[in-house]
Amino acid sequence: MRLIRYVLALLPMLLLLANSSSSDFTKQTTAAAGMTVSPEPAAADPLINAGALFEAWNLEGSGLSRDAFENAAKGYEVLRSRGLLKKDNLLTIIDYSKPSSQKRLFVLDMGNGKILFQSLVAHGRNSGLDYATDFSNSGQSHKSSLGFFITLDTYKGGNGYSLKLKGCEAGINDNAFKRAIVMHGAGYVNENFIRRNGYLGRSHGCPAVPPGLNKKIIDVIKGGSCMFLYYPSKNYISRSKILNT
C-alpha cells in the first residue's frame, strides 16, 4: 500500500519529465532536419500593435492621425476585452484634430484595416468654428464630448434617422444619452456649405454627418460597436480611465 502511494506521488513528476523530454526530442529532431523552431510568441504591447497596424494599413495616407488611431485602438481593446462590444469588428474614429472641412470620420474594419466609410462630420457649435477645441459633458452646452462611446439602437426624430450613443467615461461623456447626443444627418454637412463659408455647419453637440450617408453609416455601426471622438487634449488623456487602464 505504501508503495502504491509512493508511485502515485511520483507520477506528476514523471509525466513532467516525459513531456520535457518529448519537447526536447522534438526540437532536436526538427533542428537535425534543418527546420527552424519558433519560440512561443511573447505578449504584445497594444500600442506597439496599433502602431504596426497604422503603418500596415496606410492610415496616414487616408488623413487619420497616428495619435487618434493609437488611442482609439487602445480603448477599443479595453472595451472589447470587457465584453462590452457586441460588434467588436468595427471601430469608428472622429478625429477632431482635423478641421471640419476635411473628412475626419473613419469607420474601420478591425479585421483587415479596410476603411468602410470616410466622411465629413460636424462638431458642436460652441466647440469652435472650423476646429473643435472646447468640449463638454454638460447639458445645453452645445459642445461636443470627447472619448469612447458605444453605439446603441436607432430611432426617427426631428433630424430623421438617428443613432443613440452611450458615453462610457464618467464625467467626460456619460451625459450623452441625457443630452440626446446622437449621430444624425444634417443639411449643413456638405461640400457646398464649406465652399460658401470655409468651414462646415455645426450641431448642438452631435456628430452630424451628410444626409446621404447617415443611414448607410448608422446601419453598419449600430448595435454595439465602438466610437471614439479624439482631440489631443492633455486634460482628457490624463482623466480617461479607459486610456489609463
Dump pLDDT digits (tens) for 142-198.
999 999 999 999 999 999 999 999 999 999 999 999 999 999 999 999 999 999 999
pLDDT digit string (tens) for 84-139? 999 999 999 999 999 999 999 999 999 999 999 999 999 999 999 999 999 999 99
| Pairing between β-strand 147-157 and β-strand 160-167 as defined by DSSP bridges | antiparallel
**Residue 48 — pLDDT band, cuts 50, 70, 90?**
low
Let me know: does 73 contact 48? Beta carbons within 8 Å. Answer: no
pLDDT at 33 over 50: no
Q: Which three cell numbers stand for residue 11?
A: 507520477
Helix-strand-coil percent breakdown of the chain, rounded to 5? 35, 20, 45
Rg, Å, the chain Cα set: 25
What CATH topology corresponds to 47-239?
L,D-transpeptidase catalytic domain-like (2.40.440)
CA distance linking residue 237 with residue 66, whole number of Å:
15
Q: Where in the chain is the domain with CATH 2.40.440.10?
A: 47-239
* 115 and 91 Cβ atoms separated by less than 8 Å: no
Residue 21 has a CB neighbour count (10 Å cut-off) of: 10
Q: Average pLDDT in the 207-214 region?
A: 97
Which amino acid makes up residue 217? Answer: I
